Amino acid sequence: MFSIIKLRFLRLRDEYLIIVIMTIIALGFTAVFGMIGTSYKPRILIVDKDQSKHSKMFKDELESNPIFRYESVGYEEAIELVDKGKALSAVVINNGFSDSIDNGGEATIELIKFKDDRYIYTLEYQLFSILNRMIGNIKIAEITADYLVKSKNDVFRDEIVKRAYENIKEYWSYRKPININTEMIDTKKFSNYDSLMHSIIGFSIYFTTYTAVFSIGTILYDKEHNIWQRMLVSPISKSAILGGSMISAYIIGILQLFILIFAGKYLFNIEWGLISEIILIALLYVFAITCLGLFLSGIVKTYAQLSAITPVILTGTAMLGGCMWPLEIVNNRFLLFLANFMPQKWAVEGMEKIAMYGYGFDSAIQSSIVLLVMGLVFFGLGVKMVQYE
């Protein structure tokens, strides 16, 4: 077996450049997509049909929010931009908006959207919150003005309303009426979603799959060049030949994934938390993917066929598994169901629970068990599919 492992690593001297390039590409994708994610602000259009003082106040409240980029446009232009995907959504302030507030009616706004996602949900919540708070502030300011007008006849009601509203608005900025303390059970720290961390985890897992699958795929290369047949007639046992090929591919995959993990720590200042648990999940994931590569090598007949189907399979499973984007933004139940059969999903989920959200390893036990079971299933199928002719 050790002679087979040595042979595989000797061949690596001619192919190491590919692994280096894959590693660099993974880090490049992480830098680009991670930085974009941290600075991304969806574009929201504002259509003001009412053109009143209250609609202007509402627009000012919206534009003070740092989560979105707001831009005022016409109604037809807003529909066109949202339809073409150049804007996430459009907020339409319809005619009668100000009159409804003044007369105690129901002030409504229209939201033009193409689909629902986490940004849309955030926008809807903020619209509801801002509108309710603004109406409440207006009512308080008007009551204050009416009281002062009745007390002194020489004061100007409109000026009082304006000044009272500004004071109330400022009061909200510094002294909230409700203070909410949050606590996450069974965690050591609390952390919000980090797009940079998701990128380093997702792309590290994604590009490692190529290295592991093509490393074990050298079995097909050996068959095409009769190397495999010569090894079979040698004194080395069949299990030693297959075991040596598996171990060498596994080690190569592990080395690349470890390089990417530690590059994330020292290049992007990623705090991995319980690094030993991250490494354990990485070990199990590479095992599952190496066994998947063995299974694929048993299905196809030539190395060229493996090269043709591997990008399709690995990219598709990576997308379904949440390497490219968080599964939290996926609403389709069928796709979420399929994600449960992808090793990438369990590796990303396990690493993110530990590194991003601060959970203990207990929360990643499920991911570890699923990866181990997947690896054993693929290994059993792969051994059965690889023929020892």
Residues 213 and 339 in one domain: yes
Read off the pLDDT band of 341 (50, 70, 90): very high
Residue 181 lies in a domain: no
Rounded to 5°, angle at Cα 360 from 39 and 277: 85
* Confidence label for 351 from pLDDT (cuts 50, 70 and 90): confident
Q: Are residues 167 and 210 in the same domain?
A: no
Domain final residue pick, 144, 174, 204: 174
pLDDT bin (cut points 50, 70, 90) of residue 208 is confident
> Is there a single domain that holds both residue 14 and residue 118?
no
- Alpha helices by DSSP H, the chain: 2-12, 16-39, 53-63, 75-83, 97-102, 118-151, 157-174, 195-216, 218-224, 227-232, 238-267, 275-299, 303-320, 333-339, 343-355, 365-385
- Domain stops at, among 174, 208, 238: 174
How many structural domains is the chain composed of? 2
Between residues 190 and 262, the one the model is more confident about: 262
Distance of CA 261 to the CA centre of its chain: 17
Any domain includes 102? yes
The secondary structure of residue 187, as a DSSP letter, is B
Same domain, 196 and 288: yes
The arithmetic mean of pLDDT across residues 13-21, rounded, is: 70
Domain match, 243 and 350 both:
yes
Q: Is residue 182 part of a domain?
A: no
Same domain, 166 and 281: no
- What pLDDT shows up at residue 255? 85
Residue 69 · residue 42 · CB < 8 Å: yes
Q: What confidence score (pLDDT) does residue 288 get?
A: 92
Let me know whether 297 and 260 are in one domain. yes
pLDDT at residue 196, rounded to an integer: 74
- At 364 the three-state DSSP class reads helix
CA distances from 110 to 37, 124, 125, 155 (A): 28, 10, 14, 37
d(C-alpha 107, C-alpha 226), whole Å? 78
Quote the pLDDT of residue 151: 59
Q: Could you read off the pLDDT of 356-381 as tens digits, one per residue?
A: 777 777 777 888 899 999 999 998 88
In terms of residue numbers, what domain contains 319? 2-36+189-385
Q: Are residues 160 and 270 in the same domain?
A: no
This prediction has a pTM of: 0.59
User: Is 60 exceeded by the pLDDT of residue 36?
Assistant: no
Same domain, 348 and 381: yes
Both 138 and 208 in a single domain?
A: no
Please provide the average confidence, as pLDDT, over all residues in the chain: 77
Which is more confident, 76 or 273?
76
- Backbone CA torsion sign across 205, 211, 212, 217: positive
User: Mean pLDDT, to the nearest integer, of 323-343?
Assistant: 84
Helix (H) / strand (E) element for 72: namely strand 69-72
Residues 100, 218, single domain; the answer is no
β-pair type (89-93, 43-48): parallel
Choice between 64 and 229, residue whose per-residue pLDDT is larger: 64
